[in-house]
Structure formats: C-alpha cells, structure tokens
Structure 1
Amino acid sequence: MPAPDASIDLAAFPSAEGGAMHFSGQALGAPEEAFWAWRRIAGIFFDVALPGPEAMAGFAAEMESHNLGGVVIGRIAASAQVFRRSAFTIARTGMDHYLVQLYRRGGYAGLAGDHKVLVRAGDTSILDMAQTVHTEASDFENITLVMPRASLAPLVRRAEALHGVVLGGDTPLGRLLADHLVGLQESAAQLSQAEAQPLIQATAMLVAACASPSIAARAEGQETVHAPSLVLIRRFIEGNLASPALSPELLTKQFGVSRPTLYRLFEPYGGVASYIRRRRLDRCFQEITAPVAERRRIAEIAYGWGFRNEAAFSRSFREAFGMSPREARLARASRPAGVPGGEGVPATTDWIRRL
C-alpha cells in the first residue's frame, strides 16, 4: 500500500474552471491510489479510514461539485468508509461550516457530538464542522451542500443543536428538503452566480425551517416556556463574553430573574456558568487555531476572553477539546504547506475556504 500522497497524480485535482470540479478514483487506476487521493479531498473535513484492510481492494470514489458563490454543492459516490472529526481535526482543518447531506443510496451510523445518529437512504442529515463526528458509512451516494456558518446559524434558535439533525425521507419536511437539494444539484452546472445568489438565501431559509422542529424536539419543551427570555439572555452573553463582569449575578440583575430561574433556563447546557465558560472556550479555540493566532500569546487570548487563571484555563480547555491550547496551536501549524491554495490542492478546498 503506498504512503499517503506519495504517488498521487496531481491531475486528479483539476482547477476550478467554470466553477465545477470532477474527481474519479477510477481514472487513477489502482484502488490504493484512488483511496489516498480521495482521502486528501475528504481531509478538508474528516479523517477518513476504511472499515477494514480488505476494503482497499474494491475502493472506489467519484465526485462532481459546483461552486455557486456562497455555497458548494456536489454529488458524491464512494465505497464504505469511516469518518472522524475530532477536536484535533477541527483545529487542523480550520473549517467552520455545515454539511447538509441527502443520502440517495446507503447511509451511516455513529455519533454527532454526543448524539447517536442513524441515516438511511432518503434521509437528509446536518453536521456542524465545529463539533466532533465519528460515523461509519456503507457504500453510498449523496448530495452534499456545504454552507458557511454565517448563512445558516442566525436563522435557527439553537445553532449548536443543528449538529446531528436527521430529516427522514418519509416525512413531509424531509421530502421537501430532499427535493430541493436534488433540484439545486441538477441545475448547478447551468446556474450563473447571479442567478444562484437568491437561491442560496432561499436554501438557507428552507434548511432552517425544516430543521427547526427537530431542534425544538431536542429541548423536550424546556425552551418553549422561557424561549423569549433565553434568546435575549444568550444574545446578551454572546455580546459580552470578553467582559470580566459577565457572570450569573450580572444576568440576574440585567434581566430581573432569580438565580434558580436562570439555572432552569440553562439547565440543558449544564447551568449558566457552564454555558458562559464553554462559549468563552469556543472563542479561545477559534482564535488559537486561526491563522492570525500566531501573533498573540495563548495566555493573552485566554485573558482577553475573561479567563483570569492560566492553569485553570488550560485544564478547562483540555476537558472541553481533549488537547491543551498549545497542542491545538501546533495542530493548526501542522496543516500542509499548500493549504489553502497552491498547486495540486483540490479546487473544492479553495472554494470552501473562501465561502
């Protein structure tokens, strides 16, 4: 078996001429070469492995993707494989998008964060690339829509709960979204970017509308009674994460609620203090692993987001992401020299990074 990328023909990664990219593992000849080439493409999101050594002999993959200016949509068909996205992978790749995937054949099972997911043919799933994934897929064909966070997250009440949402192909909302994704993918090659822009906005609204009942169901009714207060409080927290004064005490005074009421509102998140700490850790993670992060010391970043004890910050960071802040920064620094951009880098990689 060849080493990763050791014998990959860079012709497998064409430029983005005409806003379209085609990849065929069969064109590379040996299944081993097809797998390593595919692994490099999929590596912008996942660490990819085969379910067993025997699977290499029959491995095949092909992809056709289109850049519509605000999203990337493609059809993917591939052999069975295992997809992992750990905290280390999140740091290494720097991708912060949603994948909306309609499985026309095959499916997958596993974990999206802490949620068990099972996707069958006809179902549509949503994965948040800021969260962990560990799934095993059978031989499959899907339509994958890659959306930047800014286009979808503001349209739903709990953006973090989009991760692992599955819309069944036998449900009205599942069929509605599936039909739209099929039509968008089939028309992508003929759409100009000017024509695509209003469709992209409409697509984001449709995804949000179809996913919202599933998000509400996860909350088991806990947000229904207090939704207006919770939304306002969370918005206030997001705007004041860097303030050392942000605390449960400040929130009780700001919104005129008791401490027990505040805890009940944030009970699904482990309490309000836990929620604030996690949101601050998320911001630190993003800044530590961003390209500009090398210009700021880790301690400076931690203090900038409200942490006052560097040792306690490091412990909390490791508990949340499974690695130290320094390891996260080193993971960012270990990205291949040619990414993003550069000769031989898949066109889709550049498209997605520029969304």
Structure 2
Amino acid sequence: MWKVQKFEDYQQMRRFFRERDHVQPSTVGPDPGPGYSMTLREARFGAITVGYADISARHPWSGEMVSSDKSDVFLLVQPLIGFHHVVQREREALLRPGRLALLDATMPCRRQTSSYGPFQILFTAVPRSALGLRTGRVTDRLTAAELPTDDGLGSLTAFYLRRLLRQADDLRPATAERLGSSCLDLITSYVGDLLYEHPEAGDGLADALVMRAQSYAESHLGDRDLSPATLAAAVHVSVRYLHKLFADRRLTVAGWIRHRRLERCRLDLSDPVQAQWSITEIAHRWGFTDSAHFSRAFKAAYGITPRDQRLSAHAPPG
C-alpha cells in the first residue's frame, strides 16, 4: 500500500518536491552536505494521506514549504525521532518526539531539524474542506504551535496516526478508506476541541456546536427520521440557528447528511465483506427509503451507478 521514494542526496530530494503537484508543497533549503539520505513513504486512507519520512544527515537541515494551488491541505506533523522546529504566521514551535503541530500548506512555512543523526517524522495531509470547521480560525489560532498530546483527544489522535503507519501494509483498500474516514472524524474533533478551548478563538463555540451536530448525525445516519429539526433538537439549538452555522461553513444541513449517507453506502458497496447485502438493503441501512431516489443521488454524486460501483470495486485486479 505504501508508495515509496528514496533519495540518496539532498538535491535529488529538492527536485522531487519542486516537481510534484499533490499533497505537500515544494520543499527548498540549503544543502546540509554529504551524508544526507531520505526514504519517503506515503499511503492514502480515503480523503487523507499519511506519510512517513526517515532521514539520515550529519548536520541539521532546513526547508521551506511554499504555498501551492494544488496543496489545499492542513498538515498534521509528528516527529518520531529527533526535534523539529516549525515557523508559520510569526509563530514557532520546537516539537519533541511524539508531539503534534498543525501547518497550513497554503502558506509559507519554515521547518528545521534541531538534532544530528537520524530523524523520523510522520505527517498527515487533511483537505481543508474536509474538516468542516472555519479553516481561517484554524490557521489563525492553531498553526505552528505544539498541540497537547498528553491525554484526551490529543493522545488518542497521536496514537491512532502512529498505528495507521504500522498497519498500512496489512489493510485492504476498503478497510483503509474506512479507517481514513474514522481518522478524519477524530482529527476534526481534536481540532474543534482545541478551537473551543482557546478563549480568543471567537467562534470556537460555533465550531464546537457544528462538530457536535456532525458527530450526532454520524451516529444516527441510519435513522430515517434524521433531519435538520431532529439534529437541532439533539444539540439544543433552533433549526434556524443550525442552518446558519452550516451556511457559515458553506454547507447545508440536509446536503451534509445526504453526503455522509452516500459515503457510507459507497464504502459498503466497495467492501467485499458486504457483498451478501443487496444494494437496496445497504441504501435502507443508511436512511434512504426510496431505491430509485438513492440511485439517482448516488450517480449525481459519483458519476457512476451503485451497481457499477460494486462491480468496479469487486473486479479482479488487472
């Protein structure tokens, strides 16, 4: 499952990052001299990409992330061996092994190791739009800061990402996509909680309410009576205010619920373990009451019918 790139010197690595057009922006910096090598591993888990860099160098090295139109992501970075110094938006943090920091890949950022010898870092690329939060608030308040990982969601997030790193080669594609969806939910909850805890975050309470509403909806997607009204009642706000919260994030409540239901159906249709369930049964499981309406909505969302989705996912390789 890993896509592996190996670099025998710093210049080779620089050329690779300058030419690539996905996930992580270009990386430039002065050559640390002889003795530099790097192995980069990346794996897709649904919407997110998990990467792992294993670096050997005789001297500390530095790099600059350059914003790119094709890199509209947040990077959650976690050094595993060695210290990592990050600077963005006039904030800076020296990350110890196991700690997390969030970087906005649409903006310049300086990164530098602060140790000699081996260095290992885990990074997770999360599409900004997938967070469901006001990404401007995230950038303004949380980037380039050492995020708490001693307990609670921080500890769970850091541990979960390390486990994904270890298990990637053992996962079937459908399982990897499900785990990526769970990981995205976990990261969203973690970041949302951090925004809420910052008194200067302004709309942290609004972000927390949206996160709470989405969390409730995720656990009740199979309920056919799930609606903006029932969701608003569950989080103790008015329907009008709930619509406003979602509209502020360029979402609609009903549209978001439908999207998440379709995603659950798509995952089940792609999973060989679910092959004994009919398409209608899967649609009903996730709250769709009309099979014809479900098929139309699925094709409009993914450009393929539910039946063709199942056939393409289960087709033998080659």
TM-score, with structure 2 as normaliser: 0.55
**Counterpart check, 1:176 vs 2:174:** no
Is residue 11 of structure 2 the alignment partner of residue 36 of structure 1?
yes
5+ residue gaps, structure 1? 1-18, 29-33, 240-355
Alignment of 1:209-288 (within 5 A): 209-220=189-200, 222-223=202-203, 232=244, 235-236=247-248
Number of residue equivalences: 207
Q: Does 1:24 align with 2:6?
A: yes
Using the aligned pairs only, state the percent identity. Answer: 17
Between the aligned partners of 1:226 and 1:66, the Cα distance in structure 2 is 33
Between the two structures, name the one with larger relative contact order (CA 8 Å, sep ≥ 6): 1
Partner of 2:38: 61
Contact 1:66 1:189 in 2 (8 A): no
Note if contact 1:65-1:74 (Cα within 8 Å) is conserved in structure 2.
yes
Question: How far off is 1:194 after superposition?
Answer: 0.9
**Structure 1 position 169, deviation (Å):** 4.1
1:105 aligned residue (62, 77, 81): 81
Separation (CA, whole Å) in 2 of partners of 1:237 and 1:148 = 14
1:282 equivalent in structure 2: none
Shift of 1:145: 1.5
Q: 1:214 to 1:224 in 2, by over 3 A?
A: closer
Q: Does 1:152 align with 2:134?
A: no
Instruction: Please tell me the residue identity of whatever aligns with 2:76.
Output: V
2:180 is the alignment partner of 1:200: yes
Answer yes or no: is the 8 Å Cα contact 1:96–1:148 preserved in 2. yes
Q: Which has the higher helix share?
A: 1
Structure 1 counterpart of 2:98, from 98, 122, 132: 122
* Residue 152 to residue 217, structure 1, CA distance change in 2 (3 Å): same
1:57 partner SS: coil
Q: Which residue of structure 2 lines up, in the alignment, with residue 143 of structure 1?
A: 122
Q: Give RMSD over aligned pairs.
A: 3.3
Please tell me whether the aligned partners of residues 102 and 181 of structure 1 are also in contact (alpha carbons under 8 angstroms). Answer: no
- 8 Å CA contact 1:165–1:215 kept in 2: the answer is no
Structure 2 unaligned blocks of 5 or more: 210-240, 252-318
Which of the residues 158, 161, 166 maps onto 1:186? 166
AA at the equivalent of 2:14: R
Shift of 1:152: 2.1
TM-score (norm 1): 0.50
Return the letter of the residue paired with 1:64: R
C-alpha deviation, 1:184, in angstroms? 0.8
| 1:183 Cα deviation from its structure 2 partner | 0.9
